[in-house]
């Protein structure tokens, strides 16, 4: 009887629907959103990439995205305001995305954090006052001359257009610097003096020796004589316009910035809203709500740790373990100095070779693009650091450790 009752109940129970597997959504293979599964997120990532490249066309070229090679940056306050509005819009739309898998959620959150960091930095108003020996419009022009790829006639047209655009934008930057100075937004005096000297030194160079003119010597053999001549003439004219703009820019520094450049408070805290700017920069660089005191304490702890390593190295190499004595020896002992520029470069190549050999011991995924040693150009050497890195462009040029010899 119990069996019949059970069978009756089972018969009356609704039929269990068949299990239907969730549709499989392939992860994106678009380089702008590679690995992302959700099509909404993939679309936003693509939109963000395109917007970044359009907003920063010289960066796009450096990354190997050549869609905007004929464009130049727009440093105007209006363009900056429009960009901040775009960043805020992307942030809002990204936060509204729901039902993301774990991997996509991490990607979304990472971009939101980056965008919020960029928006936070707007309080610093860098475009109105900031420049340095390693970041100024003169270097932007030099970089264009040294690295712009020319393989086709269209490339040569794009380069001339870019240089003309850079010239126009230098005038925009000069006006913004002038406006910033009127509001008390100025760089510190040592940086201002050094940049003025840097620009004046290069403006004194003959036109033919300007780095921006270097592409005239890289004309592909496939150009017709007329195409080559057109490019040379166009670049020469554009370079003159750029140099004229740089004269206006450096004169602005001399007339409007230098007389009121900061002597006390050389850091960010010396500008209006400096404290808020400092906090925004900490958040942007660390993604953490750290205070300046916490960052400073971390720095002091790292100095202590590094000094212990220096003491051990000094004991092994120099027979001295007092840190200050080691530093004094390194600064003053002629036997520890390089004698020639070639020796500096050779040591850099040796160090890079040892680093390359050690890469497989530390990383599972190895770089496909090579890294080489280059020298800092002579016109830049007196004003830059001991060395810096230059990123690779896949398929075009290797990464570089650029050493100041």
Instruction: Answer yes or no: is pLDDT of 398 > 60.
Output: yes
Q: How far apart are CA 215 and CA 210, in angstroms?
A: 10
Highest mean pLDDT among 14-28, 219-233, 255-269, 362-376: 219-233
Overall average pLDDT of the 126-145 stretch = 96
What is the pLDDT, as a whole number, of residue 78?
98
What is the pLDDT, as a whole number, of residue 17?
43
Spatial contact of 314 and 323, defined as CB atoms under 8 Å apart: yes
Task: Assign 21 a pLDDT band (cuts: 50, 70, 90).
Answer: very low
- Whether residues 268 and 199 fall in one domain: yes
- Whether residues 260 and 141 fall in one domain: yes
- Whether residues 105 and 172 fall in one domain: no
Any domain includes 219 = yes
221, 244, 272 — which closes off a domain?
272
User: Mean pLDDT in the chain?
Assistant: 92
- Whether residues 332 and 221 fall in one domain: no
Task: Assign 6 a pLDDT band (cuts: 50, 70, 90).
Answer: very low
Q: How far apart are CA 294 and CA 279, in angstroms?
A: 12
What is the pLDDT, as a whole number, of residue 336?
93
Any domain includes 7 = no
Instruction: Answer yes or no: is pLDDT of 253 > 90.
Output: yes
- Whether residues 313 and 393 fall in one domain: no
Any domain includes 375 = yes
- Whether residues 221 and 242 fall in one domain: yes
- Whether residues 313 and 303 fall in one domain: yes
Express each pLDDT in 100-128 by its tens digit: 999 999 999 999 999 999 999 999 999 99
Which of 362, 365, 287 is CA-nearest to residue 121? 287
- Whether residues 140 and 266 fall in one domain: yes
Any domain includes 179 = yes
Copy the structure tokens of residue 287.
């993604």
Which of 348, 397, 341, 349 is CA-nearest to residue 369? 397
Any domain includes 280 = no
Overall average pLDDT of the 307-335 stretch = 96
- Whether residues 325 and 368 fall in one domain: no
What is the pLDDT, as a whole number, of residue 33?
94
Which of 352, 338, 355 is CA-nearest to residue 401? 352
125, 154, 183 — which closes off a domain?
125
Instruction: Answer yes or no: is pLDDT of 142 > 80.
Output: yes
125, 152, 174 — which closes off a domain?
125
Express each pLDDT in 341-364 by its tens digit: 999 999 999 999 999 999 999 999
Any domain includes 19 = no
Any domain includes 285 = no
- Whether residues 135 and 217 fall in one domain: yes
- Whether residues 239 and 321 fall in one domain: no
- Whether residues 245 and 189 fall in one domain: yes
Total domains present in the chain: 4
Domain span holding position 221: 127-272
Any domain includes 9 = no
């Amino acid at each position: 009887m119990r069996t019949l009752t059970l069978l009756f109940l089972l018969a009356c129970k609704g039929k269990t629907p068949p299990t239907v597997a969730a549709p499989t959504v392939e992860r994106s293979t678009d380089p702008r959103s590679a690995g992302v599964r959700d099509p909404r997120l993939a679309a936003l990532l693509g939109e963000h990439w395109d917007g970044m490249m359009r907003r920063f066309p010289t960066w796009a070229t450096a990354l190997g995205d050549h869609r905007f090679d004929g464009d130049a940056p727009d440093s105007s306050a209006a363009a900056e305001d429009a960009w901040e509005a775009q960043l805020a819009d992307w942030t809002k739309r990204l936060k509204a995305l729901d039902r993301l898998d774990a991997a996509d959620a991490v990607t979304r959150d990472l971009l939101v954090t980056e965008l919020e960091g960029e928006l936070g930095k707007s309080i610093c108003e860098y475009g109105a006052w900031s420049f340095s020996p390693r970041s100024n419009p003169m270097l932007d022009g030099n970089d264009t001359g040294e690295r712009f790829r020319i393989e086709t006639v269209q490339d040569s047209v794009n380069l001339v257009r870019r240089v003309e655009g850079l010239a126009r934008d230098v005038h925009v930057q000069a006006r913004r610097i002038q406006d910033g100075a009127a509001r008390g937004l100025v760089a510190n005096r040592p940086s201002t003096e050094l940049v003025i000297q840097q620009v004046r030194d290069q403006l004194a160079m003959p036109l033919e020796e300007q780095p921006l003119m270097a592409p005239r010597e890289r004309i592909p053999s496939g150009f017709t004589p007329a195409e080559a001549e057109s490019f040379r003439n166009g670049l020469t004219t554009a370079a003159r316009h750029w140099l004229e703009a740089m004269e206006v820019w450096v004169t602005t520094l001399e007339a409007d910035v230098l007389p009121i450049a900061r002597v006390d408070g050389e850091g960010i805290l010396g500008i209006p809203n400096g404290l808020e700017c400092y906090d925004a920069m900490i958040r942007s660089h660390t993604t953490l709500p750290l205070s300046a005191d916490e960052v400073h304490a971390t720095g002091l702890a790292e100095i202590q740790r590094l000094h212990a390593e220096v003491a051990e190295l000094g004991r092994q190499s120099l027979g001295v373990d007092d840190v200050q004595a080691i530093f004094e020896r390194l600064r003053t002992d002629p036997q520890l100095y390089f004698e020639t520029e070639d020796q500096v470069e050779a040591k850099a190549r040796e160090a890079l070779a040892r680093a390359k050999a050690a890469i497989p011991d530390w990383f599972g995924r190895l770089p496909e693009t090579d890294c080489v040693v280059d020298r800092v150009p002579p016109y830049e050497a007196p004003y830059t650091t001991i060395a810096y890195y230059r990123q690779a462009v896949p398929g075009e040029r290797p990464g570089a450790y650029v050493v100041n010899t």
